[in-house]
Structure 1
Amino acid sequence: MRIKNTELRCENGDITKVKTDVIVNAANSSLLGGGGVDGAIHRTGGPLILDECRKIVDRQGSCPVGEAVITTGGKLPAKFVIHTVGPVWSYGKNNEEEKLRKCYRNSLKIAEDKQLESIAFSNISTGTYGFPKETAGRAALDEVKKYFIQTPDTTIREVVFVCLDDENFEIYEELLESEK
Structure 2
Amino acid sequence: MAHSTKITLVLGDITEQHVDAIVNAANSSLLGGGGVDGAIHRRGGPEILAECRALRAGHYGGGLPTGHAVATTAGRLPARWVVHTVGPVWSRDEDRSELLASCYHESLRVADELGARTVAFPAISTGAYGWPIGDAARIAVEAVRGAETAVEEVRFVLFDESAYEAFAQQIS
Relative to the length of structure 2, the TM-score reads: 0.96
The question of 1:172 aligning with 2:172 is answered no
C-alpha distance after superposition, 1:66-104 (max 9, x if no partner): 0111000000001100000000111151x3111000100
Alignment correspondent of 1:143: 143
Gaps of 5+ in 1: none
Gaps of 5+ in 2: none
Relative to the length of structure 1, the TM-score reads: 0.91
Q: Are the structure 2 counterparts of residues 92 and 167 from structure 1 closer, same or farther at C-alpha, using a change threshold of 3 Å?
A: farther
Distance between the aligned counterparts of 2:39 and 2:93, measured in 1? 28
Distance between the aligned counterparts of 2:43 and 2:93, measured in 1? 33
Aligned length in residues: 170
Letter in 2 for 1:166: E
Distance between the aligned counterparts of 1:20 and 1:92, measured in 2? 37
Alignment correspondent of 2:130: 130
1:156 alignment partner, one of 135, 144, 151: 151
The offset of 1:65, in angstroms, is: 0.5
Stretch deviating more after TM superposition (3-12 or 59-68): 3-12
Alignment correspondent of 1:39: 38
Alignment correspondent of 2:119: 119
Letter in 1 for 2:3: K
The offset of 1:155, in angstroms, is: 2.9
C-alpha distance after superposition, 1:94-117 (max 9, x if no partner): x31110001000000000111111
Distance between the aligned counterparts of 2:92 and 2:18, measured in 1? 35
Tell me, what secondary structure is at the counterpart of 1:29?
coil
Tell me, what secondary structure is at the counterpart of 1:90?
coil
Letter in 2 for 1:37: V
